[in-house]
Amino acid sequence: MKRKNFKAGKTKKEKKLKTQIKNIRDIPRAEIGDRAYDGLWALLGFFVFMAFFVVAVVILDDNGQVSVETKVIAVILFVLSVYLMFLKALFTKMRNERVLRMIPSGILYEWPFGITKQHSYSEWADSINAGHYRIGSRGFEFRLGFEKIVFFYNVALLGERKKAEERYNLFVDYLAGVDPMIRQKMPKFTKENIDLLDKRCFYQRSRKHQLIVMFFNMLLYLILLSISGGHDAVVTTAILCGLVEIFVFYFLVKGAYYNYKNEMEIREKMSDETGLVRDDGIGNLRPYWGYIYLFLVFAINYAVQCILLWW
């Protein structure tokens, strides 16, 4: 009886160990946890739905006697709001359920309907030696043709970050098995490095969020211009949308400043032997990209608005 209990306990332990190894060998296609889906999309979807509601009220008040363009805008707004609030999160979840699996012979890709594809570690090593890898805004990215592997930083998720580090080290070990010198080219997945890259990721996401807000503000600007009438309505529309852009401008300036400070710290504390920190070519402008982004976005935005306002 004791022998039977011993076997049962050993089997349970072996199963747990096997599950842990499998989890480490599975490379997620996206970030895990709260960062797997950006809630800003759902919030923007709500605002798009409110814009649809406003247009729908205008159409109902006019008993449907509105231009075809207004009706098309209403349909587009409704479809876009449903996608942003519900379907985008669902598609993201379905995509994340398919993982890449590291096996001793290579990286195994599992597709729907039981279709699998595999690339050997020698192929990946050749691609890395050719320079097809970089420190991305969300993780270490490695490319082989149209295939891509990303070891995500998993910002603010210490447990998942540790798993990502273990997966990355296992990937490096497999590569070193076919090319021992490749370790010197690989970026280091350490806490100190990732903390700095976390900040880079945060500032880049912040810029993306501000761009999204500005895009939908422009969309709202166009909608209000199309349904408003008279000089006073046009001026009111410009003031309301202008207030939104003032806040966007403030956060962009603030983000550009702190992004510059973080990039200079990255250059100081992280080695640049592989060219991954500064990159090549336009990557030399990375510390100043926040300011360049700020200038380009607002120059294009105000040029378009002036053309629309005085057309």
Tens-digit pLDDT profile for residues 228-286 = 665 666 677 777 777 888 888 888 888 888 888 888 887 777 665 454 555 544 456 66
Give the H/E segment covering residue 262. helix 231-269
Give pLDDT, residue 171. Answer: 94
For the stretch 174-211, what's the b/e string if a residue is b when 16 or more beta carbons lie within 10 angstroms of its beta carbon?
bbeeebeebeebbbebeeebbebbbbbbbbbbbbebbe
Instruction: Calculate mean pLDDT across residues 80-104.
Output: 79
Which whole number is the average pLDDT over 287-297?
77
Six token digits for residue 155: 């910002």
Per mean pLDDT, which range of 74-83, 115-124, 129-138 is the poorest?
A: 129-138
Cα separations in angstroms, 213 against 11, 44, 124, 199, 252: 54, 8, 39, 21, 12
Strands annotated E in 1-111: 26-27, 100-103, 106-110
86 sits in the region (left: phi over 0; alpha: psi -120 to 50; else beta) called alpha
Kindly report which listed range (90-99, 181-190, 195-204, 245-254) carries the lowest average pLDDT score: 90-99
- Residue 120 reports pLDDT greater than 90: yes
Maximum average pLDDT range among 101-110, 259-268, 300-309: 101-110
pLDDT at 176: 92
Query: What's CA 140's distance to the chain center, in Å?
Result: 13
* Confidence (pLDDT) at 122: 94
Task: Give the residue extent of every domain in the chain.
Answer: 26-184, 191-310
- Does the pLDDT value for residue 142 go beyond 60? yes
The answer to whether residue 217 scores a pLDDT higher than 60 is yes
| Ramachandran area for residue 306 (φ above 0: left; ψ -120 to 50: alpha; else beta) | alpha
Mean pLDDT of 50-70: 74
Residue 7 reports pLDDT greater than 70? no
Contacts 24+ apart (CB under 8 A), 223-228: 223/51, 223/54, 223/55, 223/73, 223/77, 225/308, 225/309, 226/69, 226/70, 226/73, 227/54, 227/55, 227/58, 227/70
Q: Identify whether the C-beta of residue 140 lies closer than 8 Å to the C-beta of residue 151.
A: yes
- pLDDT at residue 20, rounded to an integer: 46
Higher pLDDT, 202 or 21: 202
Helix %, strand %, coil % of the chain (to 5): 70, 10, 20
User: What is the overall mean pLDDT for the chain?
Assistant: 75
Q: What angle do CA 68, 73, 77 make, to 5 degrees?
A: 155
DSSP secondary structure, 5-23, as one string: HHHHHHHHHHHHHHHHHHH
Residue 124: the pLDDT is 93
- List CB contacts of 188: < 8 A, sequence separation 6 or more: none
Altogether, the residues listed in the chain come to a count of 311
Q: Which residue has the higher pLDDT, 229 or 168?
A: 168
Q: Which residue has the higher pLDDT, 108 or 303?
A: 108
pLDDT at 1: 45
Residues 218 and 305 sit within 8 Å (Cβ to Cβ): yes
